[in-house]
Chain A
Amino acid sequence: MTSNNLKLNFGPQHPAAHGVMRLIMEMDGEVVVGMDPHIGLLHRGTEKLAETKPFNHSIGYMDRMDYISMMCCEHPYILAIEKLLDITPPVRSQYIRVMFDEITRILNHLLWLGCHGLDIGAMALFLYCFREREDLLDCYEAVSGARMHATYYRPGGVYRDLPDTMPKYKSNKYISEKKVQKLNYNRDGSLLDFIKDFTDRFPSHIDEYETLLTDNRIWKQRTVDIGIVSPERAIELGFTGPMLRGSGIAWDLRRKQPYEVYNDIDFKIPVGVNGDCYDRYLVRIEEMRQSNHIIQQCIQWLEENPGPIMIDNNKLAPPKRSAMKHDMESLIYHFKLFTEGYSVPEGNVYSAIEHPKGEFGVFLMSDGANKPYRLKIRAPSFSHLAAISEMSKGHMLADVVSIIGTLDVVFGEIDR
């Protein structure tokens, strides 16, 4: 008998491909028989570029790895440098990092939820998710000046302390004074007050999303029993994060190999049972609730404990502007830091954090220079996408879209 299989090209420009992914699918009717993902259409050679730049210059490039969870991508890079330099940042900066990691986790999961919903037919959800994302992006903006690519973490701490005021909406000929007052209702206090207000109402928003989806017949038809991964296969394929937890393995680096101050923070690790798209959805929803809880604990600590946010070492931290005006040492430190940077002792380290998508790791090798000798980014989605062929075999074409969605792929980090 001859095979009547059809080769189908999916992408690279396809709204459900979540970026620029090209899939060459082999179809038997509407059933997927084989699949060959072509990636690299967004390859920018970040790791090579990092070799030509002083350490601090590459922090901004890390934001552009997974461009929907920006600060989480900076984090392992910063940790790797700190490990090689053998320094510990002040506790306050560690709390700030944890808080922003969790804000980022919510940002990531909201975008994932909105787009995943959009892909498989839940249209309304997208707007609700982006409504909440807007507030969190305002937090990014308030703290770093940029809504997305923050470049906020630094080896030895964070760039600056949390601001005392929130940026406010202003009235113009299109928006009345009354409307502006309504928009600014939670922006009178500091950034922490604003985040606190957000965490107070966010659980009820998650309830709204769940009302739309969790028991929705169509949602369940599109996700239950789709893309099942057994725990054994998940480990074998190098799955991490919600992809691994969805298969029932309670593995979370925040708990198992704690970094920063996660040891002192109370949170639970949700796990799935069946390892299908629906379980991974439930895991991510619960993770948002847990992140919200972590943020609340961080706010409380940060309100009670003011203090330094950067180590007191002018080889790493820029000196104060005021000190530079009368102190020659400070001026020299400033000049050396911004022209040459700092040299990192010879050696290599691997550092990883629990990124919203899984284990995001950085392998950093230094030969004692002011630039990395080799930087390798271990992106969680890279391993996840490698398994897409195995996950979609035997499923219908429409289910491939559910599977791409559940993988939570972002091409910035896969292609690097």
Chain B
Amino acid sequence: MDNHTLINSLKNKLSAYDIQYHHVKNSVTIEISKNDLIPICKTLKSESTLTFNMLIDICAVDYLTYGDADWKTLDATNTGFSRAVKKTIIPDPDENYDEKRFGIFYQLLSLDHNMRLSISTYTGSTNPPTIDSIHGIWNAADWFEREAFDLMGIQFKGHPDLRRILTDYGFIGHPFRKDFPTNGNLEVMYDQNLEKVVYKPVSITTRPGVPRIIRKNNDIE
């Protein structure tokens, strides 16, 4: 089945929902509202013309610094050369996030029709950001959702066992958020006087090695 047939059958089966279709680079992405996630996923899995029977991946994205470049500045003398060397970390807003701060991308695969589909949705109007768990639809979501919870701090409502998975026991924070410094917040060392392992705030500052530069109209073919 090619992508146009896929989009047509999607439009046919999912006409009840508000969906935006993106067909770029030979792949189809549907952008949906997070409230429609569960019914749409159920349809995608059960409908015989679609049968997306495998969940390949779940990826959470933090849009906090999307489109920010290190060299971007309002006037040249204001921040000088150091603007690309010193990195300011935006503090974590406690009350409310931007409604579209976090994007979640689900990659689906249909073995029967040999098709791929990507679902994207946004969350973030509350702290912590929440979204429904799709563990009941695809069991493979178990660890993927735990990972997104651990690294991005997204709560998956209805997940049976939402615990941290990749970070250390007792870890504080969600390291893949853009307001979490690459160097981390705590460092671990052995204190000879106390004769035990201690945690203390990191003593090094985050320095980007190569400045982040955005170039439009790139003419690579």
A residues contacting B by CB (< 8 A) are 39-40, 43, 45, 47-49, 51-54, 57, 83-87, 235-238, 249, 251, 256-257, 313, 315-316, 339-345, 347-350, 352, 359, 361, 363, 365, 367-371, 373-374, 376, 378, 382-383, 385-386, 415-416
CB contact under 8 A between A238 and B215, given known A86-B221, A313-B221, A363-B59: no
B14 located at the interface, meaning its Cβ lies under 8 Å from any Cβ of chain A in the complex: no
In contact, B212 and A363 (Cβ under 8 angstroms): no
In contact, B210 and A53 (Cβ under 8 angstroms): yes
Q: How far is the CA of A230 from the CA of B166 in the complex (A)?
A: 28
A21 to chain B, nearest CB (A): 12
| Residues of chain B contacted by A54 (CB below 8 angstroms) | 210
| Residues of chain A contacted by B85 (CB below 8 angstroms) | none
In contact, B166 and A349 (Cβ under 8 angstroms): no
Contact with A along B99-134 (1 / 0, CB 8 A): 000000101000100101010000000000000000
B197 located at the interface, meaning its Cβ lies under 8 Å from any Cβ of chain A in the complex: no
| Residues of chain A contacted by B25 (CB below 8 angstroms) | 83-84, 86, 347, 349
Within 8 A of A (CB), among B178-221: 182, 208-216, 218-221
CB contact under 8 A between A350 and B111, given known A83-B25, A369-B212: no
**Which listed residue (A85, A238, A347) contacts B55, Cβ 8 A?**
A238
**Which listed residue (A51, A52, A235) contacts B111, Cβ 8 A?**
A235
B interface SS class = loop
| Residues of chain B contacted by A340 (CB below 8 angstroms) | 210-211, 213
B5 to chain A, nearest CB (A): 16
CB contact under 8 A between A238 and B138, given known A85-B220, A350-B57, A368-B214: yes
| CB nearest to A54 among chain B residues | B210
Q: How far is the CA of A311 from the CA of B140 in the complex (A)?
A: 39
In contact, A53 and B209 (Cβ under 8 angstroms): yes
CB contact under 8 A between A40 and B61, given known A342-B220, A369-B214, A386-B143: no
Which of B57, B111, B165, B213 is packed against the most chain A CB atoms within 10 Å?
B57
In contact, A237 and B220 (Cβ under 8 angstroms): no
Q: How far is the CA of A369 from the CA of B211 in the complex (A)?
A: 10
Within 8 A of A (CB), among B21-35: 24-27, 29
B139 located at the interface, meaning its Cβ lies under 8 Å from any Cβ of chain A in the complex: yes
| Residues of chain B contacted by A365 (CB below 8 angstroms) | 61
Q: How far is the CA of A345 from the CA of B220 in the complex (A)?
A: 9
Q: How far is the CA of A51 from the CA of B210 in the complex (A)?
A: 11
Contact with A along B36-57 (1 / 0, CB 8 A): 0000000000000000011111
B97 located at the interface, meaning its Cβ lies under 8 Å from any Cβ of chain A in the complex: no
Ordered by A's residue number, 28 sampled pairs between the chains whose C-beta atoms are within 8 Å are A40-B166, A40-B167, A43-B166, A45-B175, A45-B176, A49-B182, A87-B220, A87-B221, A238-B140, A249-B111, A257-B114, A342-B220, A347-B24, A349-B27, A350-B27, A350-B56, A350-B105, A350-B116, A352-B56, A363-B107, A368-B67, A368-B218, A369-B213, A370-B212, A370-B214, A374-B61, A376-B59, A382-B144
Interface size class for chain B? Answer: 35 or more
B68 to chain A, nearest CB (A): 8
B residues contacting A by CB (< 8 A) are 24-27, 29, 53-57, 59, 61-62, 66-67, 69, 105, 107, 111, 114, 116, 118, 138-140, 142-144, 164-168, 175-176, 182, 208-216, 218-221
| CB nearest to A250 among chain B residues | B111
| Residues of chain B contacted by A251 (CB below 8 angstroms) | 111
A281 to chain B, nearest CB (A): 23
**Which listed residue (A39, A85, A341) contacts B221, Cβ 8 A?**
A85
| Residues of chain A contacted by B213 (CB below 8 angstroms) | 340, 343, 369-370
B199 to chain A, nearest CB (A): 17
**Which listed residue (B182, B215, B216) contacts A52, Cβ 8 A?**
B182
Q: How far is the CA of A367 from the CA of B68 in the complex (A)?
A: 9
Q: How far is the CA of A378 from the CA of B57 in the complex (A)?
A: 6
In contact, B182 and A416 (Cβ under 8 angstroms): no
Which of A45, A87, A385 is packed against the most chain B CB atoms within 10 Å?
A45
Q: How far is the CA of A151 from the CA of B209 in the complex (A)?
A: 20
CB contact under 8 A between A48 and B56, given known A39-B166, A84-B25, A369-B213: no
| Residues of chain A contacted by B214 (CB below 8 angstroms) | 343, 367-370
Q: How far is the CA of A256 from the CA of B1 in the complex (A)?
A: 12
In contact, A237 and B221 (Cβ under 8 angstroms): no
Q: How far is the CA of A227 from the CA of B139 in the complex (A)?
A: 18
